[in-house]
């Protein structure tokens, strides 16, 4: 019985030591797991913060680019409106100048027509005077020479 009691005692001591070692291993394992979970949580939190910062930066950049694009679009629209207005004024000015030039040309045409008609009348009057004078000269020559001229009425 002494051997059995000694074996039981030794078995209890080994079991106690094994249980203590197991408890210590479980405690270290739990500590390592807790530390790893904390590290993972910190890394996850840091990654989320980094992602949030990147998203905020991208949103800010997007807003900046959108604002710049809208400003450029508004500037282009103003430029287009100014150009259209200038073109409209240019067209109006050109049409007014064309009307003025046409009016001046009509006045000049009328003046030239009147002047031409006056010159033609003067020439016609001069021609008639010359014809009358030539008829008189022929008549005088015929009277002086005693000949009858048949061409006195030509003209």
DSSP string across 29-92: HHHHHHHHHHHHHHHHHHHHHHHHHHHHHHHHHHHHHHHHHHHHHHHHHHHHHHHHHHHHHHHH
The tokens for 6 are 């000694």
pLDDT > 90 in the chain, percent: 83
What global pTM score does this model have? 0.43
Of the listed ranges 31-35, 42-46, 124-128, 146-150, the one predicted with least confidence: 146-150
Residue 155 clears pLDDT 70, i.e. is over it: no
Name every residue whose Cβ is closer than 8 Å to that of residue 149 and which is 6 or more positions away in sequence. Answer: 138, 139, 141, 142
Residue 148 clears pLDDT 80, i.e. is over it: no
Question: In this predicted model, what pLDDT tens digit does every residue of 87-124 receive, in sequence order?
Answer: 999 999 999 999 999 999 999 999 999 999 999 999 99
Question: Computed over its alpha carbons, how large is the radius of gyration of the chain?
Answer: 63
Of the listed ranges 30-44, 87-101, 123-137, 140-154, the one predicted with least confidence: 140-154
Mean pLDDT value of segment 66-83: 97
* Sign (positive or negative) of CA dihedral 116, 117, 123, 124: positive
Q: What is the DSSP string of 96-149?
A: HHHHHHHHHHHHHHHHHHHHHHHHHHHHHHHHHHHHHHHHHHHHHHHHHHTPPP
The pLDDT value recorded for residue 154 is 46
């Amino acid at each position: 019985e002494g051997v059995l009691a000694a074996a039981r005692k030794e078995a209890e001591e080994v079991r106690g030591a094994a249980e203590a070692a197991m408890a210590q291993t479980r405690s270290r394992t739990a500590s390592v797991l807790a530390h790893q979970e904390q590290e993972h949580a910190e890394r996850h939190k840091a990654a989320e913060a980094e992602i949030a910062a990147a998203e905020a930066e991208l949103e800010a950049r997007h807003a900046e680019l959108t604002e710049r694009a809208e400003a450029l679009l508004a500037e282009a629209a103003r430029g287009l409106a100014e150009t259209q207005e200038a073109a409209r004024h240019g067209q109006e000015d050109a049409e007014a100048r064309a009307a003025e030039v046409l009016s001046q040309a009509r006045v000049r045409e009328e003046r030239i027509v009147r002047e031409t008609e006056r010159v033609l009348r003067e020439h016609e009057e001069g021609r008639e005077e010359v014809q009358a004078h030539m008829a008189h000269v022929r008549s005088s020559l015929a009277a002086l020479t005693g000949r009858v001229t048949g061409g006195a009425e030509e003209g």
